[in-house]
Structure 1
Amino acid sequence: MQDRPANDAIAATKIDCGTDVSFGALTRMLFDHLKSKNVDIKYKHSVDNIKRTSDGSWELKVKNACH
């Protein structure tokens, strides 16, 4: 905090027992792992429906959110 302007906004959490979670860091780690497994990641899409098929795989109805 040294040399930080006094009017700068900050976020702080105090937990006596537990931990904070950086969901941004977790998401980046997950995406890096998926990319390393050659998973094709689509951005700006939404999942309209998801269901489990009889063979245990997943079927998704996906829509491009930009159109």
Structure 2
Amino acid sequence: MLLRPTVLLLVSQLALAGCERSQAEKLAFQHAEEQYRINAEESAKYQRSKAGEDAKENGAATNGEKE
């Protein structure tokens, strides 16, 4: 009777230990996170520059100048 819970515990521990990521997977995940951060920064920078260009165009149009 004691054997069944022990085997279940052993199998559970082995299953959980086998779920750890390999070194290659860890590196790929780290690279993906870094690339996501870089893309987010570049996107924010682009949006700010685009908003600045739109503001300049709107300012020129309201001053009676043609685009």
TM range (shorter): 0.3 to 0.5
More relative contact order in 1 or in 2 (CA 8 Å, sep 6+)?
Answer: 1
TM-score, normalisation: structure 2: 0.33
Please identify which structure carries the higher helix content: 2
Please identify which structure carries the higher strand content: 1
Query: Which entry has the higher C-alpha Rg, 1 or 2?
Result: 2
